[in-house]
Amino acid sequence: MKKNFKLLTIASAITLGVGLSGSVKADAVGIADIVGDQASTDDIVSYGLGPRGQRYSPLAIINKDNIKNLFPVWSFSFGGEKQRGQESQPLIKDGVMYVTGSYSRMWAIDIATGDELWQYDARLPEGILPCCDVVNRGAAILGDKVFFGTLDAKIVALDAKTGKVVWRKKIADFEAGYSYTAAPLIVPTDAHGPLLITGNSGGEFGVVGEVQARNPETGDLVWTRPVIEGHMGTMNGVETTMTGTANESWPGDMWKNGGGAPWLGGTYDPTSKLAYFGTGNPAPWNSYLRPGDNKWTSSRIAINPENGEIEWGFQTTPHDGWDYDGVNEFVAFDMEKDGKTIQAGATADRNGFFYVLDRNNGDFISAKPFVKNITWAKGIDENGRPIWDPENRPGNPAESADGKKGKSIFAVPSFLGGKNWMPMAYSQDTSMFYIPSNEWGMDIWNEPVTYKKGAAYLGAGFTITPIFDDYIGSLKAMDPATGEIKWEYKNKAPLWGGVLTTAGGLVFTGTPEGYIKAFDDETGEELWKFQTGTGIVSSPITWEQDGEQYLTIVTGWGGAVPLWGGEVAKFVSYLNQGGSVWTFKIPKQLASK
């Protein structure tokens, strides 16, 4: 899977950004703005507060000493009957906030007042097939356009000033089960200029996972890269290379509907010049129908954005039989260990293990459990492969008396994962990751299934249950160099929202009970909380305006837990849906107190 290509230097990336900025309006977003987003405090022009996805802000105006003075300055309601889960991370540029909402909607909001500037509603067709609620996780911005995906598997470019459609393109066929919910990724290239890169959703419907790169100006496809072995990539509409080797780890024709959807989107490292995507579960869930590792599902892959070729792949759960998607974000960071600086990347997998890899070549460095009582594997070997516990794989229905249901087993974590989509954060001050996790297990069994276009392609049944009486959600601070968990905050309901960390020594996240909370990044002490009135399943942001630091969170309960959570869903059935944007600050006169 490894290939060598000429890599783009940081200097050329910045030059590229200047060139783009020079060709558009002075206040438009250039590629250099996106690459350098983490260091810029007066705007947020990328998902993850920088393409690496560290979700760290260098702002310290709000800190441990004055967080008690944080209060809301405005709240914006999405309104109407279209509530459901709100998982969006807003973007901010030149006094305007761009935020997406459920049912494929977007708003532009005046950050000074909370007033609506414009709203765009996608006209969704009948028959869309989203697996895990009608969510949208965010947008991308470049030049004078904002981009986001819709539940009918399309990507839309809007005029940032007016909200009018500039172009709209089809990612895949929604009638076959494809959809799109992630924030697009924008990266620099030498050969093509900036590219707009997307994945797809639909792993429960037997789709084929694919990463696509487009020209942001026109929406035209530049390259495509399927993530299942045996499928061909393209460049400018012409077939290029096959992903992997046909039938290396898939039997017969199973690879044709092999799943692996990269539904969470990607990250990009300006040092390695690689784009990183996680891939979803193989299809169907019944692993006895597809013997082999089933590459490259439940994996992390690194793609060269110049040509769409896969540079390396690392499979966290080979031959996945528990729906342990490998889509969770791969965060680039520099790790100090044994007196050396390692160019690393980290990911907290659905399977319950926290992996550290060399981000340049995918070499395995370490894997440590970040949740308790893992049963599906006894550990991870020196090569990064799981050490199977054969008694904890769901049984083969073909071996049962009636051929309809295999042996049921209890597995930890549940298929919703030790960590699901909700992004973790990395602090450059403490060198720790802050991981939103859940402690739960599942009864799971296999069933017969055959592929049918647009129908669920599972071949499994399941029931999720908590494993502790007093909590499910757990926010953990983890040292990636040692795997040590430094502190843990326990929450009664599952945690389903992202995390933000700042130079002010703070860690922010939201809870389904409706609170946004701030914790001490070194001790885990809860320092502040505010009740927003509905559950939080989104990712907070912070920025600076006129010398004041602001904090924003999108609220609205939903996502996969109330839809797929079994006994856990009943436990949180009292929570109300909603749809709002809350913005907070500390007045200048109180910032020093």
Catalytic positions: 323
Residue 411's alpha-carbon distances to 63, 131, 284, 551, 566, in angstroms, are 41, 22, 18, 38, 14
Full 3-state SS string of 190-217:
CCCCCEEEECCECHHHCCECEEEEECCC
H or E stretch at 34? helix 31-35
Whose CA is closest to 441, among 415, 413, 407, 460? 413
CA angle 587, 589, 593 (to 5 degrees): 100
The DSSP secondary structure of 377-405, one letter per residue, reads EEEE-TTS-EEE-GGGSPPPGGGSSSSS-
Residue 42's alpha-carbon distances to 54, 93, 139, 182, 365, in angstroms, are 17, 8, 18, 24, 36
Give the amino acid at 206: G
Q: What are the φ and ψ backbone dihedral angles of 549, each rounded to 5 degrees?
A: -95, 135
Residue 169's alpha-carbon distances to 129, 157, 213, in angstroms, are 18, 9, 12
**Residue 413, preceding peptide bond in cis (omega within 30° of 0):** yes
Spatial separation of the C-alpha atoms in residues 395 and 286, rounded to whole Å = 9
Burial level of 589, CB count in 10 A (0-12/13-18/19+)?
A: exposed
CA angle 313, 316, 322 (to 5 degrees): 135
Whose CA is closest to 507, among 571, 593, 427, 563? 427
Whose CA is closest to 297, among 331, 255, 326, 275? 326
Q: What are the φ and ψ backbone dihedral angles of 582, each rounded to 5 degrees?
A: -110, 135
Q: Residues with Cβ < 8 Å from 551, sequence gap 6 or more?
A: 62, 70, 508, 516, 540, 541, 542, 583, 584, 585
The DSSP secondary structure of 122-146, one letter per residue, reads --PPTT---SS-S---B-EEEBTEE
Spatial separation of the C-alpha atoms in residues 181 and 178, rounded to whole Å = 10
H or E stretch at 564? helix 561-564
